Structure 1
Amino acid sequence: MASEISRQQPKWHLPTPSSAQPVLKFQNSLTKTKTDFVPKRGRQVTWYNCGPTVYDASHMGHARTYLAMDIIRRVLEDYFKYDVLFVQNVTDIDDKIIIRARQQYLFNNLKQTTQHLDAALINTVEDAWKAYVSSKLEKVAGAAESALKDWDSFLASMTPEETAKAILVDEKFKMTLGALQTSRSAISNAQKSLAANDSSKVQADALLDASQDIVSVSLDKEHGSEVNDPKIFRDFPAYWEDKYFEDMEALNVRKPDIQTRVSEYVPEIITYVQKIIDNGYAYEAQGSVYFDTGRYDGHDGHHYAKLEPWSKGNTALIEDGEGSLGSKLTGQKSKNDFALWKGSKPGEPTWDSPWGAGRPGWHIECSVMASAVLGENMDIHSGGIDLAFPHHDNELAQAEGYYNCKQWVNYFLHAGHLHVEGQKMSKSLKNFISIQEALKLYTARQIRLFFLQYQWNAKMDFKQSSMMEVIQGETTLKNFFDNVKGVLHKIRSDGSRGASELPNGGVTHRFGPTEAQLLSTLQAKQDAVHAALCDSINTPVAMDEIMNMVSQTNKYIATGSKAVNPHLLNKVATWVTSMMKIFGVADNGADIGFGSSSDQANGNVEDTLMPYLHTLSGFRDQVRRMARDNAPQNQFLEACDVLRDTQLVDLGVSLDDQEDGSALVKLVPREELIEAREKKQAIQAEKEQKRQAAQAERERKRLEKLEKGRVSPMDLFKSRTDEFSRFDDQGLPTHTKDGEEVAKSRKKKLQKEWDTQKKLHDEFNKEMGNQ
């Protein structure tokens, strides 16, 4: 019996976790709390992100949403390993697009057909200017009247205090003043040019370009209804759509898996709207269709304004959501009802529908396109916080009214606002930053690192001082990667395997207390980063933990540089790199470090290696020549310095001289090394300039002193006839000009002067004799 038991496997005990594992939670706008993330289909995640309305250049406010959502998407896909289907739209039918397209078309036509400057053109611009004053300054009491009466006096009256008061009434007041002043100056210059008989097209274009915003509004008001070519309304948003995706590519934002355009989904929109009508939640009025919020809210378990119920009835938000052209529609039962389909007027693109010629409302677009791809329910819907009401609330109502369901979206994610230097970004405040402008100041990596410092749903303050801190952090990461790669390469090259030799000829093993502590720290940081990412993708905490791991590893390298564990060091560095890849900060080509954006992998080995081999061969040739010529030791050292500071720098190689006489080899971007070298050379040049200036000053003083010795001591006092009348045989004064003998006390002083001059004269003669 005992033998039979001994042949059986013993009981296996299920391991007990040392601690509870965190689960992924999201700050859900539908609950205003952090809720567990439970995709409806296991590892598959369906996600719809509100895309751009393409009518102008993308700015940092757009980047706040699209970069933040890109980081979350990367973490879901690359860290949590979800299979994400990311759908994003392009809104290419919208009131802003229609107005901008018409204005651009009309302005370009005017500029193209205007061949010279004349009084009629100046009058046209001036009339447009006056109309702009009347419409744009009307919110501020008395401003329009004063401006039209005497513009210069009106401007002078707008003290900082008065301007601040006006901005409280109209936040665009300052921007309006700027546009008016630019145009007013251009009108004045045009009048002077015409008076000077300069009526060239150059002058006409200068007037129009400076007044474009003002003239475009006037042209659209007068001729906008005449613009009916559909191509105009297609080409304009297509141009800005391309620019948007160029900006996203520059920021390393992943492309959507599926992209939809409103203009391609008009038939589906018409069908969708009709079903909402059939379900009893919409009605037709005067060629438009409106969503019936009164009928919907509270009916059959439906709720209107799920995201922001407190915003129901907010007229300003509702009117802004309807657009400047939509505000002219009539026939709603309630001010809360919004347009699903807008009857088109002359000067607007049109599509045929059961309710007459028209175009889609803004809110219906996303409901239809998201439904067309993702169906009656999705895991995630996202966008900027400014879209929560009415746009996203209207989307939910439309879709849930269409499907007669209770929950079209499970998790709603809203990116926080972006401020610039503490203020809301606005052209009127002159703190408006386009993505392209930001990329001229900072790299895409630096901008992304900055975004990682903020929770995705928090308010972000984009300011220079914070960016400087980010750049310092980027440098810390670069140096860490370079040092680790340098140390690992050195260990591979010297054959030490990271160990140090003992006096008895033995070697130390490479896993001691310091390694155990570093490994423990790594495991703790990995747990902390995981917990942070589970906590609604809390990247600020995650980055703090990662940077602390970098700091601890730097200390390990510094204290154990003669004996480090390369495997552990590699593990730390590859983990940090992997997190940077997940966040989109590093590319996928590097095992350690940020990698390179250039496509170096496409070059062949010969093209890559030959520059380095030529440098090495040239240095070898030089050393051999100097050895054959018995060159002094300092020439060998100078050649080594040239190799380090010039030749290798130009190849992107950094040699850091160590205390033991060896060098730590690091691959660093060539531009950074050249910049560092130039700074060092500038400092050395400044020191040399100061040294030469000091030397020149010493030489000037020496020559000045030498020049004093040109006069013989015999003649030193003879020219002073206003003091002395008689001298001895050495030229020393014996009598004053009045014939009296020079006093003994004064004779002593004169003798000292004579002795000093004698010394100077002897030095002068010696110098002249040497020359």
Structure 2
Amino acid sequence: MPMKIYNTLTKKKEEFIPLEKPIVKMYICGPTVYDEAHLGHGRTYVAFDLIRRYLEHRNYIVRLVMNFTDIDDKIIDRSKREGVPIEGLTNKYIRSFLKDMEKLKVKGADIYPRVSEHIDDIIEFIDILIKKGYAYVSKGGVYFHVKKFKDYGKLSNVKLDEEKIHRVEDPNKRDPADFALWKFAKPGEPSWDSPWGKGRPAWHIECSAMAIKYLGECFDIHGGGSDLIFPHHENEIAQSEAYTGKSPWVKYWIHTGFVTVDDEKMSKSLGNFVTLKEILRRYDPEVVRFFLLQRHYRSPLEYSEEGLKDTMNTLERLYNTLENIDAVLRDSEIKYKLEREDRETLNTLTDLWMKFYSAMDDDFNTPEALKYVFEVSSCINRYMTASNRPNRSTLLLARDFFKIVGEIFGIFDKYYGSSQSEDEEFKHLVDILIDIRNKLRKEKNFPLADEIRDKLKKIGIQLEDTPKGTLWKRVV
């Protein structure tokens, strides 16, 4: 079954065929670094991290570029308000953002270009647009003449006569829909020399210039939040395709849904946001990450404390399944003749694994994929409870499935990062203590046997006495 991705540009799911297989070139719009990142930012970057991880799991080589907007009106205003240099302010929030992403296990981009370090590239880009007749110099700066680009609106379906593209009346524009490429400097603002006068880049031009510099004139995936479709990404397409003369500039456009609070978009302007720093102080980062991935990336995600607590409990149940598998594995055996329950369980696990892949291949459908993860958990738990002699290969198949899920979703580190790295000497030591405890119980020395059990529990080892013998597992 081919992998399909919903393309905002064509408004339909399309088979994913990269331009230079197996390389996938991806550009993600990064943050404007004037404040702490909130949960809505986390949702976008965790979603694209899952997309990247799945592509890599499918043996693609992902080349990822994500920018930092470090020159912007909001940055200038905050710098003035707090009396701190712009560079110090932006460096502070870039470090903070990267630290949040590291906690959420978002894999790093190959490069994080900053606007302030690509002024020459942006000036050259604008100069070519002027020479081609797509841009013009005015008293306010340099503007892109939208009516010169006949395909304007193809991403967002916005028409030039719609009121929402005439939000700001500017006498310096030839047409109300035109957008700025270069802003002339106001007193006290940071500025750079250009052929048209001292100034700074406007917002949209930065992503076009940096994406083309690092990924080429055409590339595979451009992504961001749904709020960027218009005007940011629409304007990027116009200026980029005017610059290169090639269409489409980007083959697949991917956009994430909003995090909502009481059905309203989480945003700083509405004051209904929660920062990643705050939520990561109250919840394990893996819980937050799993919460952000349980809804489809294009759907709205309602934030609530109840939702996070439910996620924490769900994740704990999956961890319990992993620990149960690990415990039963120690007393399992390789069967050369499978019993009916062994065959049925193997068939069920194989079928669910294939359904997991089918869901992920269908536009990264995480809710559907997780449904099969939970079914695998139920299936293997039933098998371990019912079988008197669990087949080692069956248990290993289930554990391998969860390992792949963990790699794609960025979860289960507490198991695969710690439990599986235990050396044989540690496991052997626990088995020796269990053997001693069992002998003490036979001798009816229950106080000392209980003391061994309690002390093991204090270091995260839980014993369970069953008709099949004493099993142990780590308590996460």
TM-score bin, normalised by smaller chain: over 0.9
Residue 382 of structure 1 aligns to a residue whose secondary structure is strand
- Match in the other structure for 2:380: 553
The question of whether the paired residues in 2 share the 8 Å contact of 1:510 and 1:564 is answered with no
Match of 1:37 among 16, 39, 64: 16
The structure-2 alpha-carbon separation of the partners of 1:279 and 1:378, relative to structure 1 and needing over 3 Å to count, comes to same
Q: How big is each residue's C-alpha offset from its partner over 1:17-71, in whole Å with a ceiling of 9 and x where there is no partner?
A: xxxxx21111100011101111111211111110111000000010111011001
- 1:517 deviates by 0.9
2:457 matches 1:668:
no
The question of whether the paired residues in 2 share the 8 Å contact of 1:350 and 1:359 is answered with yes
**AA at the equivalent of 1:533:** M
- 1:314 deviates by 5.3
Match of 1:90 among 68, 74, 86: 68
2:154 matches 1:306:
yes
The structure-2 alpha-carbon separation of the partners of 1:596 and 1:436, relative to structure 1 and needing over 3 Å to count, comes to farther
Between the aligned partners of 1:452 and 1:53, the Cα distance in structure 2 is: 23
- Match in the other structure for 2:54: 75
| Structure-to-structure mapping, 1:126-165, within 5 angstroms | none
- Match in the other structure for 2:319: 478
Match of 1:255 among 100, 108, 112: 108
Q: How big is each residue's C-alpha offset from its partner over 1:622-675, in whole Å with a ceiling of 9 and x where there is no partner?
A: 999x99xxxx965x1111111112x10122211011135x21111223xxxxxx
- 1:449 deviates by 1.6
- Match in the other structure for 1:271: 124
- Match in the other structure for 1:525: 352
The structure-2 alpha-carbon separation of the partners of 1:352 and 1:539, relative to structure 1 and needing over 3 Å to count, comes to same
Structure 1 unaligned spans of 5+: 1-21, 109-231, 320-326, 492-496, 500-508, 670-771
Between the aligned partners of 1:312 and 1:664, the Cα distance in structure 2 is: 69
Residue 310 of structure 1 aligns to a residue whose secondary structure is coil
The question of whether the paired residues in 2 share the 8 Å contact of 1:612 and 1:651 is answered with no
- The structure carrying a bigger helix percent of its residues is 1
For structure 1, which segment, 403-412 or 262-271, has the greater mean C-alpha deviation from structure 2 after superposition? 403-412
Residue 579 of structure 1 aligns to a residue whose secondary structure is helix
2:471 matches 1:658:
no
Between the aligned partners of 1:596 and 1:104, the Cα distance in structure 2 is: 44
Match of 1:56 among 19, 35, 40: 35
Between the aligned partners of 1:56 and 1:584, the Cα distance in structure 2 is: 26
**AA at the equivalent of 2:303:** F
**AA at the equivalent of 2:27:** Y
The question of whether the paired residues in 2 share the 8 Å contact of 1:93 and 1:263 is answered with yes
- Match in the other structure for 1:573: 399
The structure-2 alpha-carbon separation of the partners of 1:428 and 1:405, relative to structure 1 and needing over 3 Å to count, comes to closer
Between the aligned partners of 1:328 and 1:387, the Cα distance in structure 2 is: 21
- Match in the other structure for 1:368: 209
- Match in the other structure for 1:111: none
Match of 1:435 among 276, 290, 301: 276
- Match in the other structure for 1:649: 457
- 1:252 deviates by 0.4
The question of whether the paired residues in 1 share the 8 Å contact of 2:36 and 2:96 is answered with yes
Between the aligned partners of 2:457 and 2:412, the Cα distance in structure 1 is: 23
| Structure-to-structure mapping, 1:740-759, within 5 angstroms | none
The question of whether the paired residues in 2 share the 8 Å contact of 1:49 and 1:89 is answered with yes
2:365 matches 1:538:
yes
Between the aligned partners of 1:430 and 1:367, the Cα distance in structure 2 is: 31
Between the aligned partners of 2:427 and 2:341, the Cα distance in structure 1 is: 41
The question of whether the paired residues in 1 share the 8 Å contact of 2:258 and 2:266 is answered with no
- 1:595 deviates by 2.9
The structure-2 alpha-carbon separation of the partners of 1:428 and 1:335, relative to structure 1 and needing over 3 Å to count, comes to closer
Structure 2 unaligned spans of 5+: none
Between the aligned partners of 1:85 and 1:403, the Cα distance in structure 2 is: 21
- 1:251 deviates by 0.5
Residue 351 of structure 1 aligns to a residue whose secondary structure is coil
- 1:335 deviates by 1.1
Residue 221 of structure 2 aligns to a residue whose secondary structure is strand
The question of whether the paired residues in 2 share the 8 Å contact of 1:46 and 1:84 is answered with yes
The question of whether the paired residues in 2 share the 8 Å contact of 1:484 and 1:573 is answered with yes
**AA at the equivalent of 2:6:** Q
Q: How big is each residue's C-alpha offset from its partner over 1:488-539, in whole Å with a ceiling of 9 and x where there is no partner?
A: 1123xxxxx267xxxxxxxxx6511111111111221122112111111111
Match of 1:352 among 193, 214, 217: 193
Between the aligned partners of 2:159 and 2:63, the Cα distance in structure 1 is: 31
**AA at the equivalent of 1:445:** E
| Structure-to-structure mapping, 1:602-751, within 5 angstroms | 609=426, 616=433, 636-645=445-454, 647-660=455-468, 662-669=469-476
| Structure-to-structure mapping, 1:308-457, within 5 angstroms | 308-310=156-158, 312=160, 319=167, 330-426=171-267, 431-457=272-298
Q: Could you state the TM-score of these two structures normalised by the residue count of structure 2?
A: 0.93
**AA at the equivalent of 1:416:** G
- Match in the other structure for 2:97: 244
Q: How big is each residue's C-alpha offset from its partner over 1:167-192, in whole Å with a ceiling of 9 and x where there is no partner?
A: xxxxxxxxxxxxxxxxxxxxxxxxxx
- 1:428 deviates by 7.4
The question of whether the paired residues in 1 share the 8 Å contact of 2:461 and 2:473 is answered with yes
The question of whether the paired residues in 2 share the 8 Å contact of 1:585 and 1:594 is answered with no
**AA at the equivalent of 2:116:** S
The question of whether the paired residues in 1 share the 8 Å contact of 2:356 and 2:369 is answered with yes
Between the aligned partners of 2:376 and 2:166, the Cα distance in structure 1 is: 49
The question of whether the paired residues in 2 share the 8 Å contact of 1:44 and 1:85 is answered with yes
**AA at the equivalent of 2:467:** E
Between the aligned partners of 1:90 and 1:612, the Cα distance in structure 2 is: 50
Q: How big is each residue's C-alpha offset from its partner over 1:467-491, in whole Å with a ceiling of 9 and x where there is no partner?
A: 2332222122111111111011123
- 1:418 deviates by 0.9
Q: Could you state the TM-score of these two structures normalised by the residue count of structure 1?
A: 0.58
- 1:357 deviates by 0.4
The question of whether the paired residues in 1 share the 8 Å contact of 2:184 and 2:197 is answered with yes
**AA at the equivalent of 2:470:** A
The structure-2 alpha-carbon separation of the partners of 1:512 and 1:233, relative to structure 1 and needing over 3 Å to count, comes to same
The question of whether the paired residues in 2 share the 8 Å contact of 1:51 and 1:89 is answered with yes
**AA at the equivalent of 2:209:** V
- 1:575 deviates by 1.3
Between the aligned partners of 1:594 and 1:318, the Cα distance in structure 2 is: 54
Residue 67 of structure 2 aligns to a residue whose secondary structure is strand
Q: How big is each residue's C-alpha offset from its partner over 1:428-482, in whole Å with a ceiling of 9 and x where there is no partner?
A: 7664210011112221211222222111111111222222332222122111111
Q: How big is each residue's C-alpha offset from its partner over 1:247-276, in whole Å with a ceiling of 9 and x where there is no partner?
A: 100110000012211111000100100000
Q: How big is each residue's C-alpha offset from its partner over 1:536-586, in whole Å with a ceiling of 9 and x where there is no partner?
A: 1111101101110110111111111x2110111111111122122122113
The structure-2 alpha-carbon separation of the partners of 1:415 and 1:426, relative to structure 1 and needing over 3 Å to count, comes to closer
- Match in the other structure for 1:205: none
- 1:316 deviates by 5.3
- 1:425 deviates by 2.1
